[in-house]
Amino acid sequence: GCMAQLHFFVTLVCTEYVLLAVMACDRFLAICKPLRYPLIMRHKFCAQLVAGCWMCGLTTSSIKLSFIARLSFCDVDKINHYFCDISPLLNISCSDSSLAELADFILALLVIMVPLCIVVASYVCILITVLKIPSSQGRQKAFSTCSSHLTVVILFYSTTLFTYSRPKLMYTYRANKLVSVLYTVVVPLLNPLIYCLRNKEVRFAIRRTFTCR
């Protein structure tokens, strides 16, 4: 049961990393290459990108679990965390976990840093393009296009990097539990709100709900 929970968790988190990078590329094309955007971002290509995100998540999760499942846990049936995460499992393992830690580190580095580099590069190009727009209204419109995605990126990456970029010896369970609640509960709950508030119809419906007597 713990391995199944860990599989779904790692799959969804890794898929989210890659998906945020793909969305950054989408914003880059929409702002920096607006005339070519309809030709590139067709429905078929979008479906392929989404499938690729899920494949990256599933592949990463399968590799990580293949190493962790080989560990021995000496009949320990409790972990000091509120769900089955990788670090708590490695800490209670009574067998040599160096290979599993190395595999986890390399995969985490690839899954976190590669999409993060893509996001940063995309937004650097977007910023350069937006600053060249002569009118302030045009710049504001371009920035508003990226605001929701950038907000989610900052929330998701800051919390997960805080959790998974620290050495194992500096691992503090209390702080990690608190941050884990942020990126597993709070950020997913905020996602619909952050993205939907850019929709005029949603904003109008919310305003009408709270102003009606």
Q: What's the pLDDT at 63? A: 92
**% of the chain exceeding 90 in pLDDT:** 21
- Over residues 8-63, the pLDDT tens digits come to 988 998 999 999 999 999 989 988 888 888 899 999 999 999 999 999 999 999 99
Domain ranges of the chain: 1-136
Residue 70 has pLDDT above 90, yes or no: no
* Residue 121 pLDDT grade (very low, low, confident, very high; cuts 50, 70, 90): very high
Instruction: Return the SS3 of 36.
Output: coil
Residue 172 has pLDDT above 60, yes or no: no
Query: Among residues 188, 189, 165, 187, which one has the least CA distance to residue 176?
Result: 165
C-alpha torsion sign, points 184, 48, 18, 97:
positive
Q: What's the pLDDT at 212? A: 58
According to DSSP, residue 197 is labeled T
> Distance between CA 63 and CA 154 in Å, rounded?
27
- Name the residue with higher pLDDT: 167 or 166: 166
- The tokens for 74 are 């000496």
- Over residues 87-105, the pLDDT tens digits come to 778 777 888 888 888 888 8
- Over residues 14-28, the pLDDT tens digits come to 999 999 999 999 989
Cα 165 to the center of its chain, rounded Å: 14
Q: What is the mean pLDDT of residues 174-201?
A: 73
Query: Among residues 83, 58, 88, which one has the least CA distance to residue 73?
Result: 88
Q: How many CA atoms lie within 13 A of 183 on its CB side?
A: 26
* Residue 168 pLDDT grade (very low, low, confident, very high; cuts 50, 70, 90): low
Query: Among residues 50, 3, 8, which one has the least CA distance to residue 184?
Result: 8
Structure-token match 């990393």, residue found: 17
> Distance between CA 151 and CA 143 in Å, rounded?
12
- Name the residue with higher pLDDT: 125 or 142: 125
Q: What's the pLDDT at 48? A: 94
Residue 170 has pLDDT above 50, yes or no: no
- Name the residue with higher pLDDT: 83 or 121: 121
In three-state form (DSSP H/G/I as H, E/B as E, the rest C), the secondary structure along 43-108 is HHHHHHHHHHHHHHHHHHHHHHHHHHCCCCCCCCCCCCCCCCCHHHHHHHCCCCCHHHHHHHHHHH
Query: Among residues 183, 172, 143, 195, which one has the least CA distance to residue 17?
Result: 183
Residue 153 has pLDDT above 50, yes or no: yes
